Amino acid sequence: MSFRYLAFFCCFALSAADTVLPDVRSALNMIQANELKGDLSFLASDLLQGRYTPSPGLDIAAEFIASKFRAAGLEPVANGDYFQVAEMVVRHPVEGSALTIRTAGATIDVAAGFVIPANVSAAAHIADAPIAIFAKPDPDLLKDADVAGKAVVVPAVGQMTRRSVLAMRAFNRALIALKPAIEIVVSDKKQSRPADRLLFAEDAAQPSVPLLNVDSKELLEWVHRNSPGGNLSVDVAAPDDQKVMVKNVIGILRGSDPALKDTCVLLTAHYDHIGTTQTAGATAEPAPPSEDHIFNGANDDGSGTVSVIEIARALAHLNPHPKRSIVFMTFFGEERGEFGSQFYGRHPLFPIAKTVADINLEQVGRTDATTGKQIRTASLTGYDYSEVTNYLERAGKQTGIKVYKDDEASDAYFTRSDNAALAEQGVPAHSLTVAFDYPDYHRVGDEWQKIDYDNMAAVDRMVALALVNIANSLKAPAWNAENPKTEPFRQAQEKLSAH
């Protein structure tokens, strides 16, 4: 590494120094690689067992983050505490019966041990339901599809990537509105034991579309032939439910301006991951028998979590504080369906109408992206959706970080991370990342030793500067009215303004 490159991480280049106020520059220079490494080596350690939601490891992580917010001097959010507590239900599926498909030419039987409940809310008896086959779990294929009362059959995805996991989630969400009788995901690999489900307590009583994972080479071959016709029969057993308590961790750096301190900008990340091979299920690549079975989630999203901590620690030294308040928040349950951010969206601790922006950090530590090395670069979802991008671009120019649009990922991922819960209510909210996909995504190899801490510190300085600039701006960031994709978010924001 050259001397010039080393010097960059100690302080800004001269051109940046000319454009960043001395007190802000001093605070940003407090963001250091070693601090990030120290925090992440704990959060992503085996002790926390992959921070599954819910688990003792997740609770330890929450206490650790709260201790860091406390040490930084952030204000607690409620009753002297840094926790927003959510009551959830863990739903344990009970294995059901064998599955039978009858076609014009043959009958396919799958034994009960190869029919695994994945999402079941109540007992169901499916008798000779007409079958609708989809070539892949792509939500676009459901447009104008008539599947009401039918058995939807789709092959499982191949290699597990961030894109494939999110596509499956989007497919399942879109399918619910179409009211099929049942969804069957078919694979030729041995399925793991029935996975538990996480639900909001208020939603647990609501019926959902039964989802079963089926291991059958014969059935998969039939699906790939996309054979027309056929009927499906299966009995589904009722699940076993257990109530649990989980936490978002939140601290606030109170604004200094009398007129603006009641408005806020959010910096967020999710602190959970997928646990171990006993909990990860279909969201992870299987680990060979000889390998470690803990999915430590250093990059996803331990990197975002420690970045929130480190940026909070640095900006807390600003005197005076920025004009608007800055809220630092880490969510539970993103890996299980963005539950923490959804819970906050349902129960915001700061008025949504006075929340001017959210920058959500996802996978900011690894530079070995599958698309090529990413040094001193960052991208974000919904790149041309709002003026938040302008603040990040400007901060990038001041700190030597290239902020760019990933044409493939920008729009595709916009509503598939924790920023979505805020965007859907009208808040300009984006997820920022260094590597959208990388070799150890949802694998046991996502370890803290593989993080590029110098690069992460540099990106964090850029994010911190953008936060300060948004917090000090008299004008809140606006949605891009010229982009038709922002219409639902603009409409939501207009409803907020009307009230």
pLDDT of 112 over the 60 cut: yes
pLDDT of residue 166: 79
Over range 198-208, report the average pLDDT. 86
Amino acid 167: pLDDT: 82
Residue 319 has pLDDT above 80, yes or no: yes
pLDDT, one tens digit per residue, over 142-169 is 998 999 999 999 998 877 677 787 788 8
CATH (residue range 94-238)? 3.50.30.30
| pLDDT of residue 1 exceeding 50 | no
pLDDT for 420 beyond 60: yes
Give the pLDDT of residue 282.
Answer: 58
**What is the predicted pLDDT for the residue at 273?**
98
State yes or no: cis peptide before 54, omega within 30 of 0. Answer: yes
Alpha-carbon distance values, 11 to 23, 26, 424, 483 (Å) = 13, 9, 38, 37
Amino acid identity of residue 454, one-letter, is: D
Model pLDDT, residue 158 = 73
pLDDT confidence bin for 301, thresholds 50/70/90: very high
Weakest mean pLDDT among 273-277, 290-294, 360-364: 290-294
Band of pLDDT at residue 190, cut at 50, 70 and 90? confident
- The pLDDT assigned to 160 comes to 66
- Please give the CATH topology (third level) of the domain spanning 3-86+246-498: Aminopeptidase (3.40.630)
Q: Left, alpha or beta for 128 (phi > 0: left; psi -120 to 50: alpha)?
A: left
Lowest mean pLDDT among 57-61, 220-224, 336-340, 419-423: 220-224
Contact 219, 287 (CB under 8 A): no
Mean pLDDT of 44-50: 98
Q: Which residue has the higher pLDDT, 121 or 468?
A: 468
Matching fold, domains 3-86+246-498 and 94-238: no
Residue 366 CB contacts under 8 Å (≥ 6 apart), including other chains: 299, 303, 434, 435, 438, 440, 450, 451, 452
Among positive and negative, which fits the CA dihedral 162, 168, 171, 175?
A: negative
CB–CB of 92/194 below 8 Å? yes
B/e letters for 313-325, b = 16+ CB within 10 Å, e = fewer, are bbbbebeebbbbb
> Distance of alpha carbon 410 from its chain centroid, rounded?
15
Question: What is the value of pTM for the model shown?
Answer: 0.81
Does residue 2 surpass a pLDDT of 60?
no
Domain boundaries, the chain: 3-86+246-498, 94-238
